[in-house]
């Protein structure tokens, strides 16, 4: 069990950040470098059918130990880390027996219980953090380490009876392309679980509907001393557009099932400006309303300008997996039972984000999300408690046993 910590620290140190601006797949070669090492490790521990395809997906099989006609379960995790914060030269450190005081890291980064009160749930436990200069990468290298560790335990156990088990490790989840080329039919699982959740006990089968918007604004640059009725300042047009969207529907003002418009980037000059927005909502009708409002705002500004100087590119990214999971709710019940067997209280909640499981569910592979244990992803305040990782491994083992008792229809 303790190997999960050793594995996670080893994985976290490897640079695998994905790149949203890349035109390749995977988006960065460094992910391929990591995947090749992972292939070698999976072969070394004795997994079967270990393969990395031309898109960088790594898959493997744990052969059945029991009845061959049992259901086939899969476990999935992504290897890339978020480009929102540096993932290069990660230096994980273990804080033994956390005492409830602020955790002081480099660059004046402090994981202060006053700002991050959830850390107080782990007083007395050992936790892993980065050093303050990078993110940690528990999203989702904790999930990778937990799956690989559970696989090794299953292979070496004489007591765990199970059907065939499939494993998959994906690139580019953090930039929304984790399953663009994933072959669900070839993978061959009846259902699967992403190990990509947060705190211990999280069990999720619904997520945001998601769209991305790119807005380009063409201004008109004229010498400011002679610009009356001539200049069109693209930056000020961008400012106007931002102000026309509901200020209460921004991420910093929303929680639970509340959706949002997230201004992801803004760059510009008088002559031109560009904005990128993320649009999110669990409710499909509200999701459509948000997209329509953005379209209307762009139309109104163009009408006011008297010409089409604002261009909107709007693209759906993924949808709420709940619609695909509800007909097969037994897959959620299995995870719930596996947690209870491990002494973990299930916390069924909606993901305020997305996972590979959302798109896999729409591609025919029902795929709820199970906790990997981390907190405060995508930044220097990230941490993961070691006992949470150990429990995640135990939950994987329990799922394998429970599914091992399920005959195919």
Q: Sketch out the chain's domains with CATH numbers.
A: 3-207+320-403 (3.40.630.10), 209-318 (3.30.70.360)
pLDDT of residue 70: 78
Q: Which two tokens stand for residue 375?
A: 């907190």
Which residues sit opposite 128 in a β-bridge?
A: 94, 384
User: What's this model's pTM, rounded to 2 decimal places?
Assistant: 0.88
44 noted as active-site residue: no
Spot the catalytic one: 80, 146, 172, 199: 80
Q: How far apart are CA 59 and CA 355, in angstroms?
A: 18
pLDDT of residue 80: 97
Q: How far apart are CA 128 and CA 112, in angstroms?
A: 15
| Pick from 49, 68, 45, 65: nearest CA to 57 | 49
SS3 assignment, position 342: coil
Report CA-CA distances (Å) from 331 to 182, 251, 252.
21, 31, 33
pLDDT of residue 365: 97
Spot the catalytic one: 139, 152, 172, 173: 173
pLDDT of residue 302: 97
Judge whether 219 and 309 are in contact, CB under 8 Å: yes
343 DSSP assignment: T
183 noted as active-site residue: no
pLDDT of residue 409: 65
Which residues sit opposite 265 in a β-bridge?
A: 276
Q: Which bin fits 110, alpha (ψ -120 to 50), beta or left (φ > 0)?
A: beta
Backbone angles phi, psi at 302, to 5 degrees: -65, -40
Q: How far apart are CA 37 and CA 84, in angstroms?
A: 25
Judge whether 205 and 334 are in contact, CB under 8 Å: no
pLDDT of residue 406: 78
Q: How far apart are CA 397 and CA 165, in angstroms?
A: 11
State how beta strands 165-170 and 272-281 pair: unpaired
pLDDT values of the chain reduced to their tens digit, one per residue, 409 residues: 789 999 999 999 999 999 988 999 999 999 999 999 999 999 999 999 999 999 999 999 999 987 776 799 999 999 999 999 999 999 999 999 999 999 999 999 999 999 999 999 999 999 999 999 999 999 999 999 999 999 999 999 988 889 999 999 999 999 888 999 999 999 999 999 999 989 999 999 999 999 999 999 999 999 999 999 999 999 999 999 999 999 999 999 999 999 999 999 999 999 999 999 999 999 999 999 999 999 999 999 999 999 999 999 999 988 999 999 999 999 999 999 999 999 999 999 988 887 889 999 999 999 999 999 999 999 999 999 999 999 999 999 999 999 988 777 6
């Amino acid at each position: 069990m303790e190997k999960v910590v050793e594995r996670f620290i080893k994985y976290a140190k490897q640079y695998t950040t994905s790149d949203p601006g890349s035109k390749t797949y995977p988006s960065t070669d460094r992910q391929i470098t990591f995947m090749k090492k992972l292939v070698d490790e999976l072969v070394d521990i004795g997994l079967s059918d270990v393969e990395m395809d031309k898109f960088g997906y790594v898959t493997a099989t744990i052969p059945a130990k029991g009845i061959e006609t049992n259901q086939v379960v899969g476990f999935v995790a992504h290897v890339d880390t978020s480009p929102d914060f540096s993932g290069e030269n990660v230096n994980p450190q273990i804080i033994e027996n956390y005492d409830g005081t602020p955790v002081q890291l480099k660059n004046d980064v402090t994981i202060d219980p006053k700002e991050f009160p959830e850390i107080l749930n782990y007083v007395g436990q050992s936790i892993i953090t980065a050093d303050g200069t990078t993110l940690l990468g528990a999203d989702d290298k904790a999930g990778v380490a937990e799956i690989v560790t559970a696989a090794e335990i299953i292979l070496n156990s004489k007591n765990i009876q199970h059907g065939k088990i499939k494993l998959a490790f994906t690139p580019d989840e953090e930039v929304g392309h984790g399953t663009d080329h994933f072959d669900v039919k070839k993978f061959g699982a009846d259902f699967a679980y992403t190990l990509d959740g947060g705190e211990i006990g999280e069990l999720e089968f619904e997520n945001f509907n998601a769209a991305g918007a790119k807005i380009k604004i063409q201004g008109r640059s004229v010498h400011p001393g002679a610009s009356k009725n001539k200049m069109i300042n693209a930056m000020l047009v961008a400012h106007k557009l931002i102000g026309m969207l509901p200020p209460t529907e921004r991420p910093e003002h929303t929680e639970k099932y509340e959706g949002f418009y997230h201004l992801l980037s803004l760059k510009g000059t008088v002559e031109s400006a560009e904005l990128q927005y993320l649009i999110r909502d669990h409710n499909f009708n509200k999701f459509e309303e948000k997209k329509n409002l953005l379209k209307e705002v762009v139309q109104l500004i163009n009408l006011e300008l008297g010409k089409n100087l604002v261009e909107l590119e709007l693209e759906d990214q993924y949808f709420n997996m709940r619609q695909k999971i509800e007909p097969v709710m037994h897959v959620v019940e299995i995870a719930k039972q596996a947690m209870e067997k491990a002494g973990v209280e299930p916390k069924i909640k909606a993901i305020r984000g997305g996972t590979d499981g959302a798109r896999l569910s729409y591609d025919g592979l029902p795929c709820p999300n199970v906790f990997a244990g981390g907190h405060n992803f995508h930044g220097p305040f990230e941490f993961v408690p070691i006992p949470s990782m150990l429990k995640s491994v135990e939950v994987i083992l329990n799922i394998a046993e429970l599914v091992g008792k399920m005959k195919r229809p």
